[in-house]
Amino acid sequence: MRSVILFFRRRPGPGLALLAALAGMLPFATATATATATATATAPADDRSLRVATREVPPFAYRDAQGAWRGIAIELWERVTADDGLRSDYTAVGLDEMLRGTERGEFDAAVGALSVTPEREAAFDFSHAFYRTGLGIAVPLDDSGGWWAFLRGLVSPRFLGVVAALLVLLTLIGALVWWFERRRNAQFPDDPVRGIGAGLWWSSVTMTTVGYGDKAPTTLAGRVVGWLWMFASVILISTVTASLTTALTLDALSDKVSDEDDLARVRTATVADSTSARRLQRKGIAYTAFDDVGAALQALARGELDAVVYDRPLLRYRVRTAFADRLRVLDLTFEPQDYAIGLPPGSPWRETVNRKLLTHTRGDAWEALLVRHLGED
């Protein structure tokens, strides 16, 4: 047995030499494979398509006539990814699915009119903001008054209240004169309906200083009432004129909206479960909720509403493209908010996207993109 062992020690065969060589190469191969796998797991794969969630929110994301995705956010994203030769596969989803999918890493990015909120930031990452905006208000193009506003003022509660109060006063004065004149003056018949009607006529023409002369009190008490009424009418007619004018003016102006504080006294609408809806709720402003901003603007154009509150750039786009001759967007912004690109937690693309956004959201090309979709502000 000892001689056999010595034999193999002195004369190793070719099989054992091969095994020894392979064993020596094993640590090197293992290290190389480990390094390759690590690099693959940590570096973005530039040769793959990006899964991008979006939703139709013109002018930031929408399909054109050929079905291709267009819009401010989409075209900006294409410029950002084109620098690295990447291709994006867009998936149209609802807002909830977009948020959940980005949080779970089902999408590489969420692109559209996606506003940054504390709740969303806690769930996934955001890029730098590429558009700063806020809420706006759309109103009828001509809400300054005109004949329609004047006629509407004639039947307003304020105006009708002044007229009713004046009519009651005229009736009381007329009834008082009739009471004194009914038995001695044929111009004021004893019948209450006809007599008080005659008294109302007399008090009206006396107050307006018309004085037809067809009816006049003849008794001492009736003439005293008439004398007092003529002097009181001089003061009363100016007071009533001012009250009626004020009522018409206030009602003509009541439908005008110049800032957010005016929304509480007009017929206001917004989109359900939106940032603007939450804003109105916090302010205690009653509103009508619509499923989409297009339906709300249609109701506004029909005269069923006085104002629509929503994201200002979205209002500007819709009004410019569909309601330019009937609606306008006020030159004010409130409830500031930022639009950014959503990224999965720990996304390896975040730093690259941020650097590219800083480059592509400056200069003439970016301004031209905004003007093309939003028009001049």
Q: Quick one: average pLDDT of 209-214?
A: 68
CATH code of residue 62: 3.40.190.10
In a domain, 15, yes or no: no
Q: Quick one: average pLDDT of 118-135?
A: 95
Least confident of 1-10, 45-54, 202-211, 341-350: 1-10
Q: How far are the Cα atoms of 64, 83, 141, 167, 369 from residue 69, in angstroms, in the given order?
A: 6, 19, 31, 66, 15
Residues of the chain above pLDDT 90, percent: 54
In a domain, 263, yes or no: yes
Best-predicted range by mean pLDDT (37-41, 88-92, 209-213, 234-238): 88-92
Residue 151's contacts (CB-CB under 8 Å, 6 or more residues apart) are none
Residue 246's contacts (CB-CB under 8 Å, 6 or more residues apart) are none
In a domain, 38, yes or no: no
Q: How does pLDDT run across 278-295, given as a tens digit for each residue?
A: 999 999 999 999 999 999
Mean of pLDDT over the chain: 83
Q: Quick one: average pLDDT of 52-70?
A: 94
In a domain, 35, yes or no: no
Q: Quick one: average pLDDT of 131-158?
A: 74
Match 């005016």 to its residue by tokens: 262
The SS3 call for residue 268 is strand
Contacts by 371-375 with C-beta closer than 8 Å and gap 24+? 373/59, 373/71, 373/72, 373/317, 374/59, 374/72, 374/313, 374/316, 374/317, 374/320, 375/316, 375/320
Least confident of 105-109, 157-161, 345-349: 157-161
CATH code of residue 204: 1.10.287.70
Beta bridge partners of 63: 69
pLDDT confidence bin for 17, thresholds 50/70/90: very low
Residue 257, pLDDT score: 84
Token pair in block for residue 276: 């603007």
Which domain covers residue 366, as residue numbers?
Answer: 50-130+340-374
Phi, psi dihedral angles at 143 (to 5 degrees)? -110, 25
| 193 alpha carbon, distance to own chain's centre | 57
Distance CA 237, CA 203 (A): 12
Residue 166, pLDDT score: 87
In a domain, 17, yes or no: no
In a domain, 36, yes or no: no
Q: Quick one: average pLDDT of 121-145?
A: 88
Question: Does residue 214 surpass a pLDDT of 90?
Answer: no
Token pair in block for residue 147: 């004949």
Instruction: Tell whether 241 and 216 lie within a shared domain.
Output: yes
Instruction: Tell whether 320 and 349 lie within a shared domain.
Output: no
Q: Quick one: average pLDDT of 116-137?
A: 94
Question: Does residue 35 surpass a pLDDT of 50?
Answer: no
pLDDT confidence bin for 332, thresholds 50/70/90: very high
Total domains in the fold of the chain? 3
Least confident of 95-104, 127-136, 139-148, 173-182: 139-148
| pTM of the shown model | 0.57
In a domain, 78, yes or no: yes
Are the beta carbons of 310 and 135 closer than 8 angstroms? Answer: yes
In a domain, 8, yes or no: no
